[in-house]
Amino acid sequence: MKKKPTADIEALAREKLGFPSLRGGQHEAIEALQQGRDTLVVQPTGSGKSAIYQIAGLITEGTTIVVSPLIALQKDQIDGIQAADVAPAAVVNSHQKASEVKDAFARLADGTLEYLFLSPEQLAKPATLEKLQAHPPSLFVVDEAHCISEWGHDFRPDYLRLGGVIKMFGHPITLALTATASELVQQEIVTRLQMREPKVIVKGFDRPNLHLRVDHFAAEDDKREELLKRVDWADKPGIVYVGTRKHAEDLAAALAEKNITTAFYHAGMAPKDRVRIHEEFMAGNTDVIIATNAFGMGVDKADVRFVYHYDISDSIDSYYQEIGRAGRDGEPAEAILFYRSEDMHLPKFLKGGGKVLEAEIDKIQTVLQQADQPLTPPDLHDQTGLTKHKVEKVLNRLEEAGAVERLPDGTVLSVQDADRAQAATQAVEHEAEHREYERKRLEQMQAYAELRTCRRAYILRYFGEANVPDNCGNCDICGTQAQRAQPAA
């Protein structure tokens, strides 16, 4: 593989991206990739992770494939590349016209395409895989890599085939990027992507401009009234995260009555409506978004002045990624959790479903073993009557137990010589471990809400940051920095 000299890294950053210099984590990652090392980068959103693959792609000879989970996120990424005139880029997803897809693959074939953005679903299509195999990438980038981990906070089954795809392409240099990942999630990313002795870089979690605070309430009505007052008073734009679709719609309606330009956002909405609302917020046409955790990836808006949580998150990972969407311009911003101890029942309820039972495992195993050809998860959904989510969960457990094999195109094969009873037992045991892990993450989030010591220190230690101060001066516990005025009663 042809490479440019190491000395070109900083020059490329200045020339192509207009950066005076690269940050430590960026330079370190690009150097590792230039040396041919698989690399995992865990850095908060807004820390410049996209610059890593953009420069690394220019250094290596050949196309860079970037797997990104959301169409809106792909659009933001490719718009940035094209605006800076970094290098030729294209995207292939379900929203592209057939002529646009054809043109992208033609440019891939003739070697004039530097960056190709794909959704993970595209890699399940045999026609796409065939074209990519004929012109394999030199660098394979997995953005939002925590989506591959069941131990993470935003698991997406389509990500599970990426390890097989990387292997199919002859294992190009692999870069995994994520904003939050505990050590357990990092290990799963490395394993599932089949990364080879990767360089792991974890940096930059301290956001000193972000004021951290928890407000406690005894009654739900008091909490709701205070949230509405606070949003009305606060500098905007901002985001309010909620745990349910009902809360999203109810609070948005209440804020609209205060003549605040507001929209709600949740997974139950039509995709075109979610795209429209996302774009209007990014363009500055909406002051406040009331959203479930479905609103997240691709929200790279520099001037968000607050992120409030009306309902508590299910983990520190989720919470920190969500509040990290505030204050990316470096100016003061605030993150407030509106908390009642009774609120812990909501995430516990949401996490309480989905147990993998032996009978369901037996159903899946029976159908797979009786099949005369590979089946897809939708096939298994149709033939077993289990929900799509349940099918995916059972398949994950059986794959971990070595009883099934997932092919790059998404189909599933039963491993004929596997011990069926042993595989079922291992699957049930692993599910119990996973549920215990989720319980501990909820407890860690509750501990954050009820802290009597520095909130920032708690979060930074959770993510493994070194040299954490005991008093940050910018949270409600430390309180040494002047607090902003409260909304009027």
As beta bridge partners, residue 375 has 412
**Residue 167 to residue 340: CA distance in whole angstroms:** 48
Task: Give me the pLDDT at residue 262, please.
Answer: 96
Amino acid present at 279 = E
* pLDDT of 4 strictly over 70: no
**Residue 369 to residue 6: CA distance in whole angstroms:** 52
Task: Give me the pLDDT at residue 356, please.
Answer: 66
**Residue 377 to residue 385: CA distance in whole angstroms:** 12
Q: Which domains does the chain have, with CATH numbers?
A: 8-202 (3.40.50.300), 210-349 (3.40.50.300), 353-438 (1.10.10.10)
Q: Contact at 8 Å (CB) between 310 and 227?
A: yes
Residue with tokens 């094999």: 405
Mean pLDDT over each residue of the chain, to the nearest integer: 85
pLDDT-derived band at 348, boundaries 50, 70, 90:
low
Task: Give me the pLDDT at residue 350, please.
Answer: 54
Between 297 and 370, residue with greater pLDDT: 370
**Residue 382 to residue 387: CA distance in whole angstroms:** 9
Interval 349-353 mean pLDDT: 55
Q: Contact at 8 Å (CB) between 468 and 208?
A: no
Q: Contact at 8 Å (CB) between 364 and 356?
A: no
Tens digits of residue pLDDT in 240-287? 999 989 999 999 999 999 999 999 999 889 988 988 998 899 999 999
**Residue 34 to residue 10: CA distance in whole angstroms:** 13
Lowest-confidence range among 133-137, 280-284, 339-343, 350-354? 350-354
Between 348 and 98, residue with greater pLDDT: 98
Residue with tokens 């089946």: 375
Task: Give me the pLDDT at residue 352, please.
Answer: 54
Task: Give me the pLDDT at residue 155, please.
Answer: 72
pLDDT-derived band at 419, boundaries 50, 70, 90:
confident
**pTM score:** 0.76
As beta bridge partners, residue 92 has 118
Between 239 and 86, residue with greater pLDDT: 239
Interval 382-396 mean pLDDT: 84
Tokens of 481: 């920095």
**Residue 25 to residue 205: CA distance in whole angstroms:** 12
The neighbour count for residue 119, using CB atoms within 10 Å, is: 20
Closest CA to 62 of 17, 107, 2, 104: 2
pLDDT-derived band at 297, boundaries 50, 70, 90:
low
Task: Give me the pLDDT at residue 298, please.
Answer: 63
**Residue 45 to residue 421: CA distance in whole angstroms:** 44
Task: Give me the pLDDT at residue 8, please.
Answer: 78
- How much of the chain, in percent, has pLDDT values that exceed 90? 37
- Using only the alpha carbons of the chain, give its radius of gyration: 23
* pLDDT of 336 strictly over 80: yes
Q: 252: exposed, middle or buried (C-beta count within 10 Å: 0-12, 13-18, 19+)?
A: buried
Task: Give me the pLDDT at residue 1, please.
Answer: 43
Tens digits of residue pLDDT in 195-243? 999 999 988 788 889 999 999 999 999 999 999 999 999 999 999 999 9
* pLDDT of 115 strictly over 50: yes
Task: Give me the pLDDT at residue 353, please.
Answer: 53
Top-confidence range, 68-77, 221-230, 352-361: 221-230
Query: Strand 173-178 relative to strand 115-118: parallel, antiparallel, unpaired?
Result: unpaired
Q: 372: exposed, middle or buried (C-beta count within 10 Å: 0-12, 13-18, 19+)?
A: exposed
3-class DSSP string for the chain: CCECCCCHHHHHHHHHHCCCCCCHHHHHHHHHHHCCCCEEEECCCCCCHHHHHHHHHHHECCCEEEECCCHHHHHHHHHHHHHHCCCCEEEECCCCCHHHHHHHHHHHHCCCCCEEEECHHHHHCHHHHHHHHHCCCCEEEECCHHHHCCCCCCCCHHHHHHHHHHHHCCCCEEEEEECCCCHHHHHHHHHHCCCCCCEEEECCCCCCCEEEEEEECCCHHHHHHHHHHHHHHCCCCEEEECCCHHHHHHHHHHHHCCCCCEEEECCCCCHHHHHHHHHHHHCCCCCEEEECCCCCCCCCCCCCCEEEECCCCCCHHHHHHHHCCCCCCCCCEEEEEEECHHHHHHHHHHHHCCCCCHHHHHHHHHHHHHCCCCECHHHHHHHHCCCHHHHHHHHHHHHHCCCEEECCCCCEEECCCCCHHHHHHHHHHHHHHHHHHHHHHHHHHHHHHCCCCCHHHHHHHHCCCCCCCCCCCCECCCCCCCCCCCCCC
Count Cβ neighbours within 10 Å for each residue of 317-331 and write b for 16 or more, e otherwise. bbbbbbbbbbbbeee
Lowest-confidence range among 7-21, 282-296, 458-472? 7-21
Task: Give me the pLDDT at residue 153, please.
Answer: 58
